[in-house]
Structure 1
């Protein structure tokens, strides 16, 4: 009696780990780990050139140099993970194709989609790992390395802007015709800042309709307990709409209900590479009222890049698996060469997108995701061609 089973074209999407899946994943692991070691080593070697120069010029202790070296490694590992996923899928599927193993599986009715599914699943897992690693480990390690290096070089690193704190605050006001117009509501300026106390301040306040207020003060400090500013030894000038003085108030100590934002802005300290996504978002909230479009655009691009980089693992996994499944007789060395070319093209597109995003030619989202979108589109196009 012959049993006929109905073929389901979507069966490759059903959950279940087969012997073939375990075999393919086992084949992918070795080149993936090799790629992580290789690309991380290349990145560390290139990045260490500047460190070696500083060690030579400043005579840093070997223990300090090693500590900075180890703290910099997570940064290079984060960039190595997507490249390693490409190398692993490309070399593995090229090897399987060259040994006719893929032909044998295809002859048994296994579709091309089912063949690359283990690579896609592994790429998704690596994507999650890369995102977590790039979010929780890399920024903290980068920041710690910078602090140690600057301290060893006597660079006196400060997590705040020391001189000329300028914080403009914009807001919408109602016009006589009922429309809203964005204007400069308040301008905060401090000549010096030591991390806690601001000195020689001038605040121009236009937040009230028809009245301008100018505050000149010798010093000011943020009062955490009362959530306000304490100004010391200064004068408040109240100016009417016709530019005449309405009132002059001299004080030794005066509290003003102003925003804390100038203090947070002065303490911004960290670079984008030293912050995770949540910290970048907080920094954006601080500078948004200032209308510093250049810095705002830069932070938005950097934040999108932090999200886009992990998804390069998925893109590389798809492209590598699809290219590797093409019928061919090539060696692992050829696969490595193709990997290098694709990686170079990806980071070239990333650099171009970064430049276009910072210049405002592309939106922050498009600038960061340009190489991923290009790679994903190429991978899907190749997949449909091969599956025919």
Structure 2
């Protein structure tokens, strides 16, 4: 029996089914509660935009829920692990499995396999759904919840420089010569780097070279006068290729798309450590679900009548949440250049893998 990593097929399916049902239940509970709290803080801003109503609130919910699912799925796996293992322990099912000759690792094997499947599904969900929802939501927020953007290539809060000229846009969509900016502001600085002229436009397109601001309102700072121009060409040195580099949002790009962006940054001699860290974390983040059964395994063992089940559950929860704290800290340190990207993304995973395995072996094996 000890030579087989998995228990019998019946027991494996039984444990996997228990685990999946509890993961789904906990995830639904967390997403519903957090979505309601989120709506309480943002519904006023959404409804403040002219013409917005219930349909826009539902649109916001449809864009926000994928982000909540991606963020809190590992937490759901952790809580589901504790609920499943505590229930099995209290019903003496763990005692029965160990009496049948199963080791602690064999008891956890179905949960680990299920968590691995959840990780794979989570990666695909992030690639196909979450990145697109994030790009659309950020662009919508940048336009202050006006018309809902429909384009796929959406980016928000773009900031570009051309010598003493600065060009900003609330949102941007399209690629190459077809790029279109909305809510555009252009600044021209003088010899002392102070702004001497400003122009605002609702829309800007590529003019090859430069960017054409339509119906621009131009304000002369020195003369304190404003005038209207049907069109204005600005930032002639800013190219679509530069915009592609400046407007990379790792949260709104998939794994393979972000790989291309990193290569473009490296070819341009730009710093890529932050993007590289986010790129690695697109793998380590979903895979963190595999750690949760191991970190919460301490709740499965020990006699229920000893009165220590609750304490063991607290220890498992503490280990799980400690991982998320350390993981976020490592990513932040990687963004600031304190850690190499590979170390920032993977060190917490392997550290807590060793911690969980050590606790399990020392206490149960």
RMSD over equivalenced CA pairs, Å = 3.5
Inter-partner Cα distance in structure 1 for 2:80 and 2:93: 17
Give the corresponding residue for 2:303.
Answer: 327
Give the corresponding residue for 1:12.
Answer: 5
1:10 aligns to what SS in structure 2?
Answer: coil
* 1:22 shift after superposition: 2.2
2:17 pairs with 1:26: yes
Give the corresponding residue for 2:74.
Answer: 82
| More displaced 10-residue stretch of structure 1: 149-158 or 16-25 | 149-158
| More displaced 10-residue stretch of structure 1: 347-356 or 142-151 | 142-151
2:51 pairs with 1:37: no
1:361 aligns to what SS in structure 2?
Answer: coil
Give the corresponding residue for 1:175.
Answer: none
Q: Cα gap change, 1:110/1:34 in structure 2, threshold over 3 Å: closer, same or farther?
A: same
Give the corresponding residue for 1:164.
Answer: 161
Contact 2:302 2:308 in 1 (8 A): no
Q: Cα gap change, 1:53/1:327 in structure 2, threshold over 3 Å: closer, same or farther?
A: farther
Q: Deviations over 1:7-33 (max 9, x none)?
A: x531235xx852222221232233211
Give the corresponding residue for 1:5.
Answer: none
* 1:39 shift after superposition: 2.4
2:173 pairs with 1:196: no
2:29 pairs with 1:54: no
Inter-partner Cα distance in structure 1 for 2:96 and 2:148: 65
Task: Please give the TM-score of this superposition, normalised by the length of structure 2.
Answer: 0.70
Q: Cα gap change, 1:360/1:278 in structure 2, threshold over 3 Å: closer, same or farther?
A: same
Contact 2:27 2:76 in 1 (8 A): yes
| The one of 312, 333, 356 aligned to 1:356 | 333
Contact 1:39 1:83 in 2 (8 A): no
1:12 aligns to what SS in structure 2?
Answer: coil
Equivalent residues, number? 298
* 1:381 shift after superposition: 0.6
Give the corresponding residue for 2:249.
Answer: 271
* 1:333 shift after superposition: 7.7
1:362 aligns to what SS in structure 2?
Answer: coil
* 1:80 shift after superposition: 2.2
Q: Deviations over 1:282-313 (max 9, x none)?
A: 211222234332xx221111111111111111
Contact 1:78 1:130 in 2 (8 A): yes
Q: Cα gap change, 1:292/1:42 in structure 2, threshold over 3 Å: closer, same or farther?
A: farther
Task: Please give the TM-score of this superposition, normalised by the length of structure 1.
Answer: 0.66
| Greater relative CO (CA pairs within 8 A, separation 6+) | 1
Q: Cα gap change, 1:319/1:69 in structure 2, threshold over 3 Å: closer, same or farther?
A: same
Inter-partner Cα distance in structure 2 for 1:102 and 1:39: 28
2:270 pairs with 1:292: yes
Contact 1:87 1:336 in 2 (8 A): no
2:324 pairs with 1:344: no
Inter-partner Cα distance in structure 2 for 1:192 and 1:358: 25
Inter-partner Cα distance in structure 1 for 2:134 and 2:83: 32
Give the corresponding residue for 1:139.
Answer: 131
Larger radius of gyration: 1
| The one of 70, 94, 100 aligned to 1:102 | 94
Contact 1:304 1:365 in 2 (8 A): yes
Structure 2: tracts of 5 or more residues without a match: 180-206, 211-237
Give the corresponding residue for 2:259.
Answer: 281
* 1:367 shift after superposition: 1.1
Structure 1: tracts of 5 or more residues without a match: 1-7, 167-188, 199-218, 223-260
1:196 aligns to what SS in structure 2?
Answer: helix
| The one of 369, 384, 387 aligned to 2:346 | 369
| The one of 267, 275, 289 aligned to 1:313 | 289
1:203-242 matched pairs, under 5 angstroms: 220=208
